[in-house]
């Protein structure tokens, strides 16, 4: 016997959709690649101090990029492993990434290979 005053619609079978044609003519491609993730290295005095003292590179990145994407971009572009990545969004709206390299890689060598030291 049902004692509830509200009607609950029974759960029925919901099949997966099988459209006859796609609703968009061209599928959306990812606009994020390693060259758009890492915009440019920062060349300030404090960034140079980070390179020398903390084995850390400082880059300006895409605001929508996350730490994993930044780590993968560093690996693909410069063939070095990042140990840790800290990010912050600056007051002007750009994202700054502090990329600490693993101990077996010297950040000064990587910076000279990039060409900003």
Considering only 9-23, 29-43, 55-69, 70-84, which range has the smallest mean pLDDT?
29-43
15 has a pLDDT exceeding 90: yes
Band of the pLDDT at 45, cuts 50, 70, 90?
Answer: very high
Which CATH number fits the domain that encloses residue 78?
A: 3.30.70.330
- Report the percentage of the chain scoring pLDDT > 70: 98
Residue 66, in any domain of the structure: yes
Q: Is residue 3 part of a domain?
A: no
- Tell me the CA distances in angstroms from 64 to 23, 25, 32, 96, 112, one per residue in order: 27, 26, 9, 12, 28
Task: Single out the residue of 109, 67, 110 nearest to residue 87, CA to CA.
Answer: 67
Strand 38-41 and strand 56-61: pairing? antiparallel
- pTM for the complete prediction? 0.74
Q: Is residue 7 situated within a structural domain?
A: no
What's the domain count of the chain? 1
Residue 97 lies in a domain: yes
Which domain does 48 fall in, by range? Answer: 34-106
Asked if residue 42 belongs to a domain, the reply is yes
pLDDT score at 82: 95
pLDDT band of residue 75 (cuts 50, 70, 90) is very high
Q: Does the residue 1 lie in any domain?
A: no
């Amino acid at each position: 016997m049902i004692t509830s005053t509200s009607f609950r619609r029974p759960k029925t079978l919901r099949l997966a959709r099988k459209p006859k044609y796609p609703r968009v003519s061209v599928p959306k491609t990812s606009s994020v690649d390693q060259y758009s993730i890492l915009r440019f290295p920062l060349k300030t005095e404090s960034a140079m101090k980070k390179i020398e003292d903390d084995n850390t590179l400082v880059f300006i990145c895409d605001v929508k990029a996350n730490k994993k994407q930044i780590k993968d971009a560093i690996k693909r572009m410069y063939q070095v492993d990042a140990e840790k990545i800290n990010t912050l969004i600056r007051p002007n709206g750009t994202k700054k990434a502090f990329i600490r390299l693993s101990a077996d890689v010297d950040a000064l060598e990587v910076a000279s290979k990039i060409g900003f030291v």
